[in-house]
């Protein structure tokens, strides 16, 4: 069976029969990678906001004061870049845009109202998750590129003051947008019950997968039974 038959399945994804059915969604390595990235984002947001406006300078106390904040902030950014790069390599293929994603976006009202039975079946990630993934991928590239330009300790001699000013403006705007995207991501994870468990324990119930990511679950069941994804298969969806 070719990889394209199971385009939404990633390494480690599997269905485990039982009561309830368990579905392995994230490996231990993926979860560690995710939480390192999340912690870096929080630390960068707090340290960055402390330098963003005088009224937020009190946040620098979390990092030992203004000087330490300016020193630590860019190094956390470096860790974030490599950590997110690890996530990107793991998840980019399952986040490619599909036809059903456009339909999912068109039915955004059903998403908000909780009428998921009216939505098209989606793979491991829905359109909203994919938008967050590609938005963060783009924003982190912008942040690291602009951050290098304004990292005067190491790169100040390679850029002009005018370039640094533009880079600082771009960096600030991208950071604010990234914080907003991160807030949406966290809110959605809390809103959809069971999502946080997936990234802490690595598994979800069959019922959760059936309700939120039915196409992905069908592919996993097909893999287990050695059938093409187009074959009709009975799926247990216990909650």
Q: Check whether 2 has a pLDDT greater than 50.
A: no
Q: Check whether 237 has a pLDDT greater than 60.
A: no
Q: Check whether 168 has a pLDDT greater than 60.
A: yes
> CA–CA separation, 105 vs 116, rounded Å?
12
pLDDT score at 113: 77
Q: Is 18 left (phi over 0), alpha (psi -120 to 50) or beta?
A: left
- Looking only at the bridges linking them, the beta strands covering 14-16 and 203-205 are unpaired
Burial of 183 (0-12, 13-18, 19+ CB in 10 A): exposed
Q: Check whether 143 has a pLDDT greater than 90.
A: yes
Residue 228's pLDDT band (boundaries 50, 70, 90)? low
Q: Check whether 1 has a pLDDT greater than 60.
A: no
Could you tell me if 129 and 98 are in contact, meaning their C-beta atoms sit under 8 angstroms apart?
Answer: no
pLDDT score at 6: 62
Q: Check whether 239 has a pLDDT greater than 60.
A: no
Phi first, then psi: what are they for 201, rounded to 5°? Answer: -105, -20
* Mean model confidence pLDDT for the chain: 88
Kindly list the catalytic residues: 185
pLDDT score at 68: 96
Burial of 123 (0-12, 13-18, 19+ CB in 10 A): buried
Q: Check whether 137 has a pLDDT greater than 80.
A: yes
Q: Check whether 67 has a pLDDT greater than 60.
A: yes
């Amino acid at each position: 069976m070719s990889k394209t038959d199971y385009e939404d399945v990633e390494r480690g994804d599997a269905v485990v029969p039982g009561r309830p059915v368990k579905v392995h969604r994230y490996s231990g390595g993926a979860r560690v990678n995710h939480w390192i990235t999340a912690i870096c984002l929080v630390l960068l947001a707090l340290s960055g906001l402390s330098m963003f406006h005088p009224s937020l300078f009190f946040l620098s106390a979390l990092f030992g004061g203004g000087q330490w904040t300016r020193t630590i902030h860019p190094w956390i950014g470096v860790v974030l870049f490599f950590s997110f790069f690890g996530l990107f390599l793991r998840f980019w293929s399952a986040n490619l845009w599909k036809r059903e994603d456009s339909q999912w976006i068109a039915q955004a009202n059903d998403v908000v109202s909780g009428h998921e039975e009216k939505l098209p079946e989606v793979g491991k990630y829905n359109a909203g998750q994919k938008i967050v993934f590609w938005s963060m991928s783009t924003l982190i590239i912008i942040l690291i590129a602009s951050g290098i330009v304004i990292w005067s300790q190491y790169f100040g001699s390679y850029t002009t003051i005018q370039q640094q000013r533009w880079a600082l403006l771009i960096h600030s705007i991208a950071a604010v947008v990234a914080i907003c995207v991160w807030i949406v991501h966290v809110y959605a994870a809390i809103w959809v019950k069971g999502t946080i468990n997936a990234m802490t324990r690595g598994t979800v119930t069959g019922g959760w997968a059936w309700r939120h990511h039915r196409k992905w679950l069908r592919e996993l069941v097909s893999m287990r039974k050695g059938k093409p994804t187009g074959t009709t298969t009975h799926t247990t969806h216990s909650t």
